[in-house]
Amino acid sequence: MERKIIPGRVAAASSDGVTVNLHFGEAQEFYIYDLNPEGWKFVERRDIKRVFGHIPAEFDKVRLMLNDCEAILVSRIGPAAAEYLLVKGLRVFQTPYPVDLVLNRLIQLHLFRKEEKQQ
């Protein structure tokens, strides 16, 4: 199955939608945001029922649930999980800070994919 990535879509591992406060291996909820040069907006919260820990099948479950995102924000992530997600095309940012500050910084630094012009 081909991934349909939405430009600027980011998932934040958060228990409250306010702070990126979940370790990737423990995250069962992700808040989804769309970013563009003018700002960001909340899209939805996604709950992912999974087994805790660093099990490749569980990494893939998360990747599939976030298949429209180009990046994931986590408070912490182990090197094996980060490498797995990167190889599968999901950018990983370890950012244990308030969600709004992180999203604003990503926009400021242009660290999201820009939409390609339609021909």
Q: Is 37 helix (H, G, I), strand (E, B) or coil?
A: coil
Evaluate whether residue 4 is within a structural domain.
Answer: no
Structurally, the chain folds into a number of domains equal to: 1
Evaluate whether residue 42 is within a structural domain.
Answer: yes
Residue range(s) defining the domain that contains residue 103: 9-108
Instruction: Examine the pLDDT at 31 and tell me if it is beyond 50.
Output: yes
Helix axes of 56-65 and 79-87: crossing angle, nearest 10 degrees: 50
Evaluate whether residue 23 is within a structural domain.
Answer: yes
Write down the pLDDT at residue 119. Answer: 39
Evaluate whether residue 64 is within a structural domain.
Answer: yes
Evaluate whether residue 93 is within a structural domain.
Answer: yes
CATH number, domain of 77, equals 3.30.420.130
Task: With CA atoms as reference, report the closest residue to 11 among 36, 40, 31.
Answer: 31
pTM of the model: 0.86
Cα–Cα distance measured from residue 53 to residue 101, given in angstroms and rounded to the nearest whole number: 28
The 10 Å Cβ neighbour count of residue 59 is: 21
43-93: pLDDT as tens digits: 999 998 766 656 667 788 888 899 999 999 999 999 988 999 999 889 999
Element of type H or E holding 87: helix 79-87
